[in-house]
Amino acid sequence: MAGIKRQLMLWGTGKPGADHSATGAATVVLENAAHLSALLGSDLVGPNSTVFVPGLVEDGGTPEGPVLAGYEGSLSEPGAECSLGSDFYLQIQNYGISAYMSVVGPTLIRVADDMDLDAYLADADEARRTGVFPDFLTNPVIQLADLPALGAGPAGDGPRRRLHAGQDGTLSTAPGGAPLGVLGEDTLDELEARWLPGAATAAAAPVAERPWLGRYLAAVGAVRDLRARGAADVRVSGFGGRLGAAARAADAEGPVADGTDARLPLLLWSGETAYVHDPASGRTFGLDPVAAGLAEALLVSGSTAAAAAHADRDGLERVAAYFADAGITLGAAGDRSGELVTAGS
């Protein structure tokens, strides 16, 4: 069940998942169970695909694949609920009303129309200006749907990663997304050729006007991760301010190195404790105040040489070397997978 839930959330969010066979899409959601035969007779699924089928009583499939998983409810209608078996329930909500709704369990929030998009952009602008992130959006049980269309970038998205088949068999990467073809009529290669990166939903964010949106989404994920670990009142460097004097001085000179790249590590703090979070791998490093100030200066300046104009060079080199030993460069995305470690331990 854990693997099935993970596939469902990867499909909903559009986050890149594990490697899969080049044959078929990684995850397909059917809105109409009558389309299952047509799907299985197509090249849209392969041995490693997972297919979510409404009303399927018993999960299954064959050793040759794909995996078939039943669900009840809806994965596309805002205000609806989807259940997998008897122990996992996923709420579906529109972004615009989510700030006013009580969180009762795992929730997938969709930016479904222009009103939702306006609310999303207003919250992102506020966070960038003041450092205050929407409380509901950083709740550990909430995930934002269709991240590639909201500024996260298209890497890892597309028909080979996820597909949605509507009630009439129309195929897209997500509910409300640009139609790519019709089940039973189009091949996976044809869907891939028609796919436009960033068009996962009808309300795609204007990334050209806000090139920092990917960085914002990375910050939302980092704050959510720390809240899940018990941290409160989490702040993010570059959103409403900086932690240390060296970073503030480098920021004032501009341009900053950590302004728009969603792959770069983030410097966060909660009370007296600071952290570096690597979005690419999910690793989070706890830092003492001195190391945090040096790490932040490196992130803002982009290099040891530039940061040395505002901070102790020997200290900068030690901090840079510590993270390099961990496989992460403060100035480039890390590439190792997730654990919480403490600098100097």
Strands 340-342 and 81-84: unpaired
Tens digit of each residue's pLDDT (9 = 90 or more) over 80-123 = 899 998 889 999 999 999 989 888 899 999 999 999 999 999 99
**How much is the pLDDT for 222?**
97
Tens digit of each residue's pLDDT (9 = 90 or more) over 30-41 = 999 999 999 999
Handedness of CA 134, 136, 140, 144 (dihedral sign): negative
**CA diameter of the chain:** 66
Q: In the numeric block, which tokens belong to residue 11?
A: 């499909």
* Cross-strand partners of 290: none
Tens digit of each residue's pLDDT (9 = 90 or more) over 251-279 = 999 899 999 999 999 999 999 999 999 99
> What 8-state DSSP symbol labels residue 1?
-
Q: What percent of the chain has pLDDT over 90?
A: 75
* Cross-strand partners of 110: 94
CA separation for the pair 24, 37 (Å, rounded): 15
| φ, ψ for residue 227, nearest 5 deg | -60, -35
Instruction: Give the residue among 53, 21, 59, 48 at the shortest CA–CA distance from 38.
Output: 53
**How much is the pLDDT for 106?**
94
**How much is the pLDDT for 185?**
95
**How much is the pLDDT for 188?**
95
Omega of the bond prior to 63 within 30 degrees of 0, cis?
no
| Residue whose pair of structure tokens reads 């990917």 in the numeric block | 214
Confidence of residue 345 (pLDDT cuts 50, 70, 90): very low
pLDDT tops 60 at residue 339? no
pLDDT tops 70 at residue 343? no
Tens digit of each residue's pLDDT (9 = 90 or more) over 134-155 = 999 999 999 999 999 999 877 7
In whole angstroms, how far apart are CA 190 and each of 36, 169, 186?
Answer: 20, 15, 6
**What DSSP line would sit under 236-286, residue for residue?**
ETTSS--SSHHHHHHHHH---TTSS-TTS-EEEEETTEEEEE-TTT--EEE
**How much is the pLDDT for 285?**
96
**How much is the pLDDT for 102?**
85
Q: In the numeric block, which tokens belong to residue 134?
A: 């929407």
Tens digit of each residue's pLDDT (9 = 90 or more) over 216-254 = 999 999 999 999 999 999 999 999 999 999 999 999 998
| pTM reported for the whole predicted model | 0.90
CA separation for the pair 96, 75 (Å, rounded): 18
**How much is the pLDDT for 288?**
95
Q: In the numeric block, which tokens belong to residue 195?
A: 């796919």
**How much is the pLDDT for 154?**
72
